A and B are shown apart, each in its own frame.
Chain A
């Protein structure tokens, strides 16, 4: 039982990391960025690249991957989403699908379809946690995930930029009239959202494998978490992510492992039926 809860929390933490960036971007863009899963994939590949070519350790790789992908996120916004800011939402949705397909196929072209492993010393060390064996790498996912979530929360609540982001999410035009630099808010939001996805990709890479289509399933789970938690709600995403991880892990053991992936969608349907604004969403 305890081992199942730990397993659930760990996988839940990874869902939270991907979903928080996605929900953040939704907050200001008002559109789900369907290329977010591919940004997560890119983060894993960048980390893999710097570890294998530069031989630096895992923590530096994590930092480099987050920075590079954050910059990439800013370019993504400037090139693909900025020109469409005042166009109907469906345009942006379609462009994000196109960007996702483009990135996935480019990755396949550059790195090949074959899964590869990101090697770290932490993936081989195990520690005992409440009588359950866990690799250090999986503990790192939870610890780093928690630190990032606390930092993100503080940033949004306390910092000036965080306030500007919230203001822009509420009413873009009013925020602009109050002298907020909207372009800067968009860039920063995309940088943070993409950086979080890169962090998730890098942290997960040593546990699962790195391959061009890894973003597809991860995105589906993250999307569910975003909706269950309430669109644009970071705190909601945290609770929903952990909930989903736990339900999957416990459901697989006590109900049926073959329905593991359907639990996410059962929760999604229930939430949409009974509380469409999400668990933490406002009416």
Chain B
């Protein structure tokens, strides 16, 4: 009995000593660290794009740290990212934001991917007064819901749609457009924003259909769309469903013109659907035309993560760099209000274009037009 007590006491003492020593040791070694939260879908059906964005931010943090970190108020800080998996589910995104804010006490969050998830975490971050910047979400309501702490680091539909709506129609003088969109905030955004503009330009929307996340069989819905006899189908979908929709549509209607809104990664789409299926399909491209700097980034990304780079990776990278610049300008790594104010004034030239924010936190990034041709794709081709 006594020996048991003795051992228990000894164990407790060892724990206490180790934890005290551990704390002391941590405080003395290395430079100061600022912890930032990253929320992306790292598993699940849209993990491909979510991981790319997270990897982009990781790479940017690595670059910053390699140069000695950021200088805030005359002191050097290393950046440490805390990754949270939202699985593309709004409630998981909200839980991740709560955890990052209350447990990890982060001064800023980067994330999330899908607009529905971002809305859930932005609502919490805004309530708690923590700046949150999404490198990927484009739904308009994120910046029209009064979230003063939300910022967007992504090209949007609503700021480019006037130009885009006309551009799509001009590709074939289309008069009868059918729309097929994913059944979420982004998809329903497209189906409410485009039709009035097209009607003004003299075209009519003859069918509007939706599909669910994870759907793979599109033949029935495509048959239904064909019944409305459109002269063009406009698809709002991310890479995997878009590839399947194109394949299945080309099978039952080999010549119907197809156009897609800004959710696909052209490289991965080519891999999944093949050049023959995609020939002549126009798409909204987040990526600007290729430059030597972008090529260098893509190469380095591939070496680092063993997967192909994509626009999401560059968005993740740009946003991390932008955040670092804002932290330096704010002169603090703890005062969330000051960081928010600095972020709203920050501008940055990244791989995806020129970043600056509207008063609402919205981005003014410009869109680009892409065209699949001969098993490859062109960005902003000469018409």
Contact = CB atoms under 8 A, between A and B. Distances in A.
Interface of A: 3-4, 7-8, 10-11, 108, 113-117, 123-124, 126, 132-135, 138, 207-209, 211, 213-214, 217, 248-249, 251-253, 257-258, 260-261
Contacts of B223: 3-4, 7, 249, 252-253
A7 B45 contact: no
A208 B254 contact: no
19 contacts: A4-B220, A8-B220, A10-B219, A117-B243, A208-B216, A209-B216, A209-B243, A209-B272, A217-B214, A217-B216, A249-B223, A251-B220, A252-B223, A253-B223, A257-B209, A257-B210, A258-B210, A260-B220, A260-B221
B276 interface: yes
Given A3-B252, A108-B43, A124 B221 contact: no
Interface residues of B, number: 33
A133 B252 contact: yes
Given A4-B223, A113-B47, A257-B224, A11 B217 contact: yes
Given A113-B45, A257-B209, A252 B221 contact: yes
Interface of B: 43-45, 47-48, 183, 209-212, 214, 216-217, 219-221, 223-224, 227, 240, 243-244, 247-248, 251-254, 271-272, 274, 276-277
B59 to A, nearest CB: 19
Contacts of B253: 133
Given A113-B47, A114-B48, A132 B252 contact: yes
Contacts of A260: 220-221
A10 B210 CA distance: 22
Contacts of A116: 272
B158 to A, nearest CB: 25
Nearest to A260: B220
The 5 nearest A-B residue pairs measured at CB: A252-B220, A208-B216, A257-B221, A7-B219, A113-B47
Contact of B47 (A114, A248, A253, A257): A114
Contacts of A117: 243, 271-272
Max chain B CB contacts within 10 Å: which of A10, A251, A257? A257
B217 A208 contact: yes
Contact of A124 (B248, B272, B276): B276
A257 B220 contact: yes
